[in-house]
Amino acid sequence: METSQKKLPPIDAAGQKHVLKGMTLEELQAWCTERGQTRFRGTQLFEWMYRHQVTETAAMTNISERFREYLRENCILTTLKLQKVSRSDQGTTQKLLLTTDDGLHLEAVSMLEENRHTVCLSSQIGCNVDCDFCATGSMGFLRNLSVGEIIDQLIAVYRLTEVPVTNIVFMGMGEPFLNYDRVLTAADIFHHRQGFDLGATRITISTSGILPGIKRFIREKRRYKLAVSLNATTEAIRTRIMPVNHTWSIDQIFAELRLYKSDSQRKIMFEYILMKDINDSPEDALRLVSMIKDFDCKLNIIPYNETDGRYQRPDEEVIEKFLEVLYNRRGNIQILVRWSKGQDIAAACGQLAVLNG
């Protein structure tokens, strides 16, 4: 029952509809009370949008017809359109091309393995960190994604696959820590018990080493997993392939990471792309182990996915040798080798780039 029959305010003066997708529980509660509704109405909307992933107001059966009509006419409950799906790895990897309301394109990837369903989400359209090896970097930066657009990527995957999602990784297009507030708000909604109810350790945020973001993440004691794209064992090589290292060096990043309180569920993950003749020697492997061995960490080795041909994946024997050195010296470091999924549909790490404009 409505708390008040007072007239609901019309859409705002600029004729803009209210974008509800992406609002937090508190924001939805406040938004509802401003319109003469109860706070509980906000809770219901939160659950419909995130727990049940409903976008049609008709399905919101515990909300009055009058308010549903108001929502239908004045609000935006979905921010992305699914444009295209590409499949590979016998259909277990699917890349979704999605379109925003302002006509821009972005991508999300769904990867099904035995008992895991991992979704790789984009945080920005393009990226201005400009890593030399990355296809997303080469498309430049268009804009940050909104909270709603981040969430709608996950909902598009749920709709398409109808398989519950077990893990989320912010490893798609963009640098999550350059869109910190929106990415963390989306992660909070993924984690929220009345939202998507995903465990905090099932959400991983990968950064190229944006020091202010890392500092903030640690200071705020965020419980999501942190992944750092290291990719080199010397400042000189890292600066060459990742110009961001000019601004925030390996040394500075490591000094900050020493403040991170890891635990068995929440180890820092270092990502290391293996690139031919750049960072793939046995000496690199030795340096890599000695750099990270004091951290409670995981190491993710990613044989490079070729994009425009400027960098190559090392030969098989070179990769084997590199891994052998790592395994022999690894101590407590947990090593994972990620033979990327979806290379044939350019859905693998660093291959996400779409034409915009």
Return all residues near 313 (Cβ < 8 A) that are at least 6 apart: 274, 275, 276, 303, 304, 305, 306, 319
**Residues found near ligand SF4 in the complex (CB under 6 A):** 127, 129-131, 134, 136-137, 174-175, 208, 229, 350
Residue reference for tokens 């398409």: 160
Residue 171 vs 326, nearer CB to ligand SF4? 171
User: Cβ of residue 131: shortest distance to ligand SF4, in angstroms?
Assistant: 3
Instruction: Clarify whether 107 is annotated catalytic.
Output: yes
Q: Identify the active-site residue in 107, 175, 256, 271.
A: 107
Q: Which does 271 bind (CB under 5 to 8 A by kind): ligand SF4, ligand SAH, none?
A: ligand SAH
User: Cβ of residue 136: shortest distance to ligand SF4, in angstroms?
Assistant: 4
Instruction: Clarify whether 317 is annotated catalytic.
Output: no
Chain position whose Cβ is nearest to ligand SF4: 137
Residue 24 vs 231, nearer CB to ligand SAH? 231
Residue 279 vs 305, nearer CB to ligand SAH? 305
User: Tell me, what DSSP letter sits at residue 82?
Assistant: E
Return all residues near 341 (Cβ < 8 A) that are at least 6 apart: 88, 89, 92, 93, 109, 111, 347, 348
Q: Which does 185 bind (CB under 5 to 8 A by kind): ligand SAH, ligand SF4, none?
A: none
Q: Identify the active-site residue in 120, 134, 297, 349.
A: 349
Q: Which does 32 bind (CB under 5 to 8 A by kind): ligand SAH, ligand SF4, none?
A: none
Residue 131 vs 198, nearer CB to ligand SF4? 131
What's the CA gap between 81 and 103, in Å, rounded? 10
Q: What is the largest CA-CA distance in the chain?
A: 74
Residue reference for tokens 């790895």: 89
**Residues found near ligand SAH in the complex (CB under 6 A):** 133-134, 171, 175, 206-208, 229, 231, 271, 273, 302, 304-305, 307, 349-351
User: Cβ of residue 119: shortest distance to ligand SF4, in angstroms?
Assistant: 17
User: Cβ of residue 320: shortest distance to ligand SF4, in angstroms?
Assistant: 25
Q: Which does 349 bind (CB under 5 to 8 A by kind): ligand SAH, ligand SF4, none?
A: ligand SAH
What's the CA gap between 166 and 160, in Å, rounded? 15
What's the CA gap between 199 and 135, in Å, rounded? 31
Looking at the chain, list the stretches that DSSP marks H as alpha helix, in order from N- to C-terminal side.
Answer: 25-34, 39-46, 65-74, 135-138, 147-161, 180-191, 211-219, 235-241, 244-247, 250-257, 282-292, 316-329
Half-sphere exposure of 119 (CA within 13 A, CB side): 28
Angle between helices 180-191 and 147-161 (to 10 degrees): 40
Residue 133 vs 196, nearer CB to ligand SAH? 133
Residues annotated as catalytic (active site), given as ranges: 107, 349
